[in-house]
Amino acid sequence: MHDLRAIRENPESFDRGLARRGLEPMSPTVLDLDSRRRAAQTQLQEMQARRNEAAKEIGLAKREGRDAQPLMDEMAQLKERLPQVEAEEKALGAELDSLLASIPNLPADDVPEGPDETANVEIRRWGEPKAIAGAKQHFELGEALGLMDFEAASRMSGARFTVLKGGLARLERALADFMLDIHTGEHGYTEIAPPLMVRDNALFGTGQLPKFEEDLFRTGDHYLIPTSEVPLTNLVNDQIVATEELPHRYTALTPCFRAEAGSAGRDTRGMIRQHQFWKVEMVSVTAPDQSEAEHQRMTQCAETILQRLGLPYRVVTLCTGDMGFSAQKTYDIEVWLPGQNMYREISSCSNCGDFQARRMKARCRPKGEKQTQFVHTLNGSGVAVGRCLIAVLENYQQPDGSILVPEALRPYMRGLERITA
């Protein structure tokens, strides 16, 4: 949610930020609604004050034996008009809130401009992409091993689901445990086991609602979480936290559920784009002056996972046209997939500034002070477990079709060194 006061004070800056997102100026519409709502509020307050004064004047006129009928007629008119003005003020407020809720976060000044992923800027690489003669894609490897069954998943659930068996099921579990151990043991994150279903206010807070409802799975009064960013960030929903206790760092392993409404025809084979997948998430809640440094730290935490697994990757800064709705700056980590001969996203680390905090009413207060300020929130994959499994399969595939288990994972695989049919 945007700061209405800031829009009033500098509408040109607001519109410049929207222009960098490829959007038309919206300050005239916002300020017009704001002006009309404030005029209605003023009118309502004046009418309420006049109603109270008239009530006193009627009582005084009656006590003094004067004709109170003109005042009583005025009171009747006020009683008739007040509900109309109240309704008008409420409608204008709802329209303004709805408009502000639909506007994405403004990009940070150093975010590169561009319309789509082609304008993203690579900032570093780690590791050398492996040249594997006749490299196969993950689904070819998994199916040949008899440990990845898309047909069985389709019979019970339809497209974009997978059944993992035996060594691959164990590998997925090992990857998740490995990630959690590093983030909690070395990076200082607190592990959380959050709800997998949330109400609409939680999704509004993190920015998925109301604009992206079609990407969500709904069940009754709840939604299945598209990422544990939602419950982890909402741990500070409607709270005032002590500034000196920040940053708060949370991590969680959860399944994620996404309708993939805009992905028809994309990545239809394999596990790249699923309706259900496991992910280890990282969320940080910081004071405003901490978030930029925390963004760098969070990205490095995600990179550590890939480095320990020996998976080549690159880090890119997303351009203004490729960032998510709630982000003001995002780093994507893209892992090398020899079977596809390209880098693919495996983690996205975003600094949302105070955008989500305003929607959640999440604040912090320094010790001994009365004034509060909105916290900053950050989120990142640490990393997507299914995509990490894909990367391990493709980077550690052997000529005989078996998969070498990375050394860092062997303690989590009970010493297993190779996955075979």
Out of 249, 387, 394, 402, the active site residue is 387
Whether residue 245 is annotated as binding a ligand: the answer is no
Whether residue 259 is annotated as binding a ligand: the answer is yes
Active site residue 269: no
Cβ atoms 402, 394 nearer than 8 A: no
Out of 51, 143, 345, 365, the active site residue is 345
Whether residue 346 is annotated as binding a ligand: the answer is yes
Whether residue 251 is annotated as binding a ligand: the answer is no
* Count of all residues that appear for the chain in the document: 421
Whether residue 305 is annotated as binding a ligand: the answer is no
DSSP for 139-188 reads HHHHHHHT-EEHHHHHHHH-SS--EE-HHHHHHHHHHHHHHHHHHHHTS-
Enter the tokens of residue 204.
Answer: 């509004």
Out of 20, 37, 160, 258, the active site residue is 258
Whether residue 258 is annotated as binding a ligand: the answer is yes
Give the integer Cα–Cα distance in Å for 370 and 39: 31
The alpha carbon of 149 is separated from its chain's Cα centroid by a whole number of angstroms, namely 31
Cβ atoms 197, 224 nearer than 8 A: yes
Cβ atoms 379, 282 nearer than 8 A: yes
Active site residue 348: yes
Q: Where are the beta strands (DSSP E) in 309-417?
A: 313-317, 329-337, 342-351, 363-365, 373-374, 376-384, 403-404
Active site residue 369: no
Backbone phi, psi, residue 148, to 5°: -135, 115
Cβ atoms 170, 417 nearer than 8 A: no
Whether residue 128 is annotated as binding a ligand: the answer is no
Whether residue 347 is annotated as binding a ligand: the answer is yes
> SS3 of 101, please?
helix
Count of alpha carbons within 13 Å of 376, Cβ hemisphere only? 20
Count of alpha carbons within 13 Å of 27, Cβ hemisphere only? 17
Whether residue 98 is annotated as binding a ligand: the answer is no
The alpha carbon of 13 is separated from its chain's Cα centroid by a whole number of angstroms, namely 24
Out of 8, 81, 173, 273, the active site residue is 273
Whether residue 154 is annotated as binding a ligand: the answer is no
Out of 284, 348, 350, 402, the active site residue is 348
Q: Identify the CA nearest to 356 among candidates 381, 331, 327.
A: 327
Q: Which residues make up each annotated binding site?
A: 227-229, 258-260, 281, 345-348, 381
Write out the catalytic residue numbers.
Answer: 258, 273, 345, 348, 387
Q: Which residues make up each annotated binding site for ATP?
A: 258-260, 345-348
